[in-house]
Amino acid sequence: MQGNLEQPACADDASVLNSLAVASPPGMCWICGEGFRNNTALRAHCGTRHGDYAEYRKRLFWRAQQDGFQPMLPWVKRHILQAATFHLAYSVPGTNNLKWSHPDSFVAAMPRAEVPCVVCARKDWIEKRFQVYLWREADGSSKLAELYHTNCCQEQFLTCGGRLCFGDREKVNEYLSTAKYSDRMPFLPKDHLYASSVIHPEDYSMSWLLHTRAVPMRPNSRQPCGGSAGQPAGDGSDDHPVEAAAAAPSCAGVGDPNEAAWICYECAKCLCKPEQWMQMPEYALANMLFLGRLHPLLQKHGTLGLRLLLGLGIPCFRKLLLGKGNKEEREGALLGNHVLLSQPAAQMGDVLPPSAESLSDNFVALFGRSPEQVEKCQILKVHRQAYLTLVKERAQVNPVYHDVVLDNVGVASLPEDGVPPQILACACPLFGVERYRATRIGPGSLRDPMDKSHGDEEEASDEDIKGEEQCAEQLADHGSAAHD
């Protein structure tokens, strides 16, 4: 790729010369026209031929001032577009930028996508993630700047085969151990916890709490944790009988030591270090951030009505902050018509499901033209059997619900799959709703000029005009009387 870029000769017509298609390299020296495959080679060239990169920039800006405004040639435009389109579709992992920083970006590049960290499950673009071996022993250490050819970090990280690698597994097990997390969270269902953990392929007694979908695992390796690498759990031996293995919760599987996973920088700087420098990652799932899996019944029947009756506290206020937080996530504006209602103070209940009297003190429901509209509201429906199952399981795993009384009569009064009477009793009319007409913003709100206008609207507009005229006359009389 390196070498002078010579334009095809055409001495007869300069416009033909400038319009010819020229294949330009990723990096170019805009003074002498030499091409390079990465920015590192370009900087080295600037240091050799043009003093240094700073002098090269000054010389280039001076020439631009001397030349003034010039038309952009087609091949220059293609050169800019090829870099932009390449970095929109591809990125080099670990570079933490969208530049030609890797020596061979075309080979190392991957389709640009968001990938989760194996330790903390946070997603980010692939150029901000690093490949790491979870189960191998480190064979050296390197700087991230040397591994990924960037100036992002000068710290030393443990490596194996040119990739990041976890440190001492005994030390890592102190931070990510599923058994230790279970001791700290005794009410968390063990089947949920171990289903989100992976067994160490070299020691079957170790299981780590990780983001299982981001961990490469051996096929068909789902089994309980226990035993050793040479003696898997549940093989019928005296130490690990089949009965105990069958009763123990199963892990997601056994990790594959030959495959690498993705890790973020925050977790890598805590776990890919020598033993004396290792620490618990701040955002790791094992750092008291795993609260169990979402119950399948909540996934299927988790409507707003079911969640309202399932909780001890009833939401009484919702606040929208405009202009706070990330630009992609924050609220920008409120559109449409809005009604603000004052709500009472929140309080905790002690009986489930809550009665209509206790619910009406903390919950206000609005309906449109008739109460029947509330019965048809899909988000307020409650599935009776799903509600009963969730209440009983929540009483087992959540200490706040241990002393809560289950009202069997109230559960029996719930519809099989419909809006419960507690919510229907909370419905209150909104005065003037019979005169409300929804408006649409956009092309759909434009009325066809051939449509007949509504007589009611014309009459209402006439009344509004008369009322405004009478009000103006009264103000005028009052002002003249005051003047007199």
Residue 71: per-residue pLDDT:
86
What mean pLDDT, rounded, does the chain reach?
78
pLDDT mean over 126-150? 87
pLDDT class for 315, splitting at 50, 70, 90?
Answer: low
Instruction: Look at 59-73, 203-217, 461-475 and tell me which has the smallest mean pLDDT.
Output: 461-475
Burial tier of 79 (Cβ tally within 10 Å: 0-12, 13-18, 19+): middle
Q: Where are the beta strands (DSSP E) in 270-387?
A: 351-352, 365-366, 382-383
Residue 111, pLDDT above cutoff 90: yes
134 within 8 A of 215, measured Cβ to Cβ: yes
Instruction: Look at 110-124, 275-289, 316-330, 459-473 and tell me which has the smallest mean pLDDT.
Output: 459-473
Residue 120, pLDDT above cutoff 90: yes
pLDDT class for 304, splitting at 50, 70, 90?
Answer: confident
Residue recorded with tokens 């099989």: 416
Q: 32: number of CA atoms within 13 Å, CB side? A: 13
Residue 187, pLDDT above cutoff 80: yes
Q: Above pLDDT 70, what percent of the chain? A: 69
321 within 8 A of 331, measured Cβ to Cβ: yes
Residue 104: per-residue pLDDT:
86
Query: What's the count of helices (H) and strands (E) in the chain, helices before strands?
Result: 19, 21
Phi, psi torsion values for 213, nearest 5 degrees: -70, -15
Q: Above pLDDT 90, what percent of the chain? A: 34
pLDDT class for 285, splitting at 50, 70, 90?
Answer: very high
Measured CA to CA, the distance from residue 442 to residue 371 in angstroms comes to: 31
24 within 8 A of 4, measured Cβ to Cβ: no
Measured CA to CA, the distance from residue 158 to residue 139 in angstroms comes to: 8
- Cα 356–357–361 angle (5° rounding)? 110
> CB count, 10 Å around CB of 133?
23
Instruction: Look at 64-68, 288-292, 373-377 and tell me which has the smallest mean pLDDT.
Output: 373-377
Task: Report the first-to-last Cα separation within the chain, whole angstroms.
Answer: 94
Amino acid in position 403? D
